Amino acid sequence: MKVVGMQPAVGRLCFRNKLVLAPMVRVGTLPMRLLALDYGADIVYCEELIDLKMLQCRRVENEVLETVDFVAPDEKVVFRTCQREKEHVVFQMGTADPQRALRVAQLVENDVAGIDVNMGCPKEYSTKGGMGAALLSDPDKIEAILLSLVKGISKPVTCKIRILPSLEDTVSLAQRIEKTGVAAIAVHGRKKEERPQHPVHCDVIEAVTKALSIPVIANGGSLDHVRVHADIAAFQAATGASSIMLARAAMWNPSVFRREGSLPLEEVMTQYLRYAVRYDNHASNTKYCLCQMLREKLESPLGKQLHAAQTTADICEVFGLQDFWKETEDRLQHRQSTVPAKNLNTEDLSEDSDVIKMPVKFDRREYAPQITPKMFLLEWSRKEKLPQPVYETVQRPLDRFFCSTVTAAGRKYRSTVWDKSKKLAEQAAAIVSLRSLGLPEGRLGEADSGLVNKRRREDPAGSDVAEEPAVPASEKQQPSLPWERVALWTKPSASVRS
């Protein structure tokens, strides 16, 4: 039997003799998919995304990250992809409605290589509303969904199922699915009530393979059958399947796809982290995936450091990638400053002639503990009996970065550098104001101006624990000041079929 992973995909996605990264919730995001491709996967599935959530999204071409983002109304990126994986990524959706399924597929089909319907996940996340493994008891709906997709889009359609209580019913359902015109079917060799500790039923997958003419992708062998790349051929032989789909084995170490053998885990984790930084992956998701790779090593010194990390910068420090993180941040900052104004459906901020601008970024490490430029600007305004500074902040959906303008002493000030955080953008605007006015801003090594008074805070035992500026109690009770307003920039989505 020919070993999978030997044929390159040409044109329309082919599902024969392929190594496939399985769809995994929270794991199958862009960094993991790209890493799997690097190590030898032929096809990568994204995590299951629910149709109702996707239908709320707009398509955004992110010129800063060089990605295509599908962005929810709350500005969170639900699905992110890039040119590198365009001919290899399969979009998996959770759906129980043919019309909704078609609308989602039409929304994303020009940015992916194929569309898959989840019919196998037994968890409540998938089964509520009749999705996931709940579809297995409704063959008519399965047929309606798949026919709608096969007829309605130009990309290949697949589905992923679990086996039914009887072999005959499993084969019968698979044959009915084949008649809809799908390009392939993935079979997880367990029943919907079975879990990873239960053995995978290779004989059932083999029976389905013999009964169909379309490719069958075997899934479910990570624990019993596939631990290293050399095991893949044996699992394929045991199931007779056209291709092999790996989930947990790939989650634990994506280099399982390498024909030359797996790489040391820390090397793999470092490469994953580089992709996470490059594509601005959310820190909590990055941390989750790295923790899945560590598994039993979570109590090691490395695991404890990772557990304590809160931000992407923290995680990079754990793996000695501080310089890479800083270089990438600087490069993305430069890119966002050069994004053409035509991409934004609002006025071009750079044309505001009445605003004093500087390329400034607030770095917490350069300032004294508990001291910020906003504090200095506020105290100076009070001392001069001037109105309190007013911050107006905008966010662009292109990359969800912020830019803030502060009005102080009758003038407007702004940094030309956009920032991920609204708070950091406001601090940058305050720095521009303070430097323009020739005022201190609280940087380390700066002579004490006395502008912001400090008082020593004590713990109940009476020992000194920190210094903090004296802030009126009324302000402590109002962390979101009434004069701070946020506006949202919007960009029209590219035209899509609906």
Q: Which residues are catalytic?
A: 121
What does the CA dihedral 371, 377, 383, 386 come to, rounded to 10 degrees? -160
CA dihedral sign of residues 217, 223, 91, 260: negative
Alpha-helical segments (H) within 279-384:
283-294, 301-308, 312-318, 322-337, 373-383
H helix or E strand, kind and range, residue 454: strand 454-458
CA pair distance 108, 59, nearest whole angstrom: 8
Distance between the two ends of the chain, CA-based, in angstroms? 44
Instruction: Identify the DSSP state of 468.
Output: E
11 Cβ contact list (under 8 Å, min separation 6): none
What is the helix (H) or strand (E) element at residue 267, kind and residue range? Answer: helix 265-278
Distance CA 133, CA 194 (A): 12
Q: Could you tell me if 382 and 354 are in contact, meaning their C-beta atoms sit under 8 angstroms apart?
A: no
What does the angle CA 344 – CA 347 – CA 350 come to, to the nearest 5 degrees?
Answer: 95
Rounded Cα distance, 29 and 35, in Å: 10
- Structure letter (DSSP) for residue 92: E
DSSP assignment, residue 443? B
CB 20 within 8 A of CB 33: no
Dihedral, CA of residue 125, residue 129, residue 134 and residue 139, to nearest 10 = -140
Q: Cα(272)–Cα(266) distance, rounded to whole angstroms?
A: 10
Backbone angles phi, psi at 175, to 5 degrees: -65, -35
Q: If you search the block for the tokens 């399965």, which residue do you land on? A: 142
**Using CB atoms within 10 A of its CB, is residue 141 exposed (0-12), middle (13-18) or buried (19+)?**
middle
Pairing of β 89-94 and β 157-163: unpaired
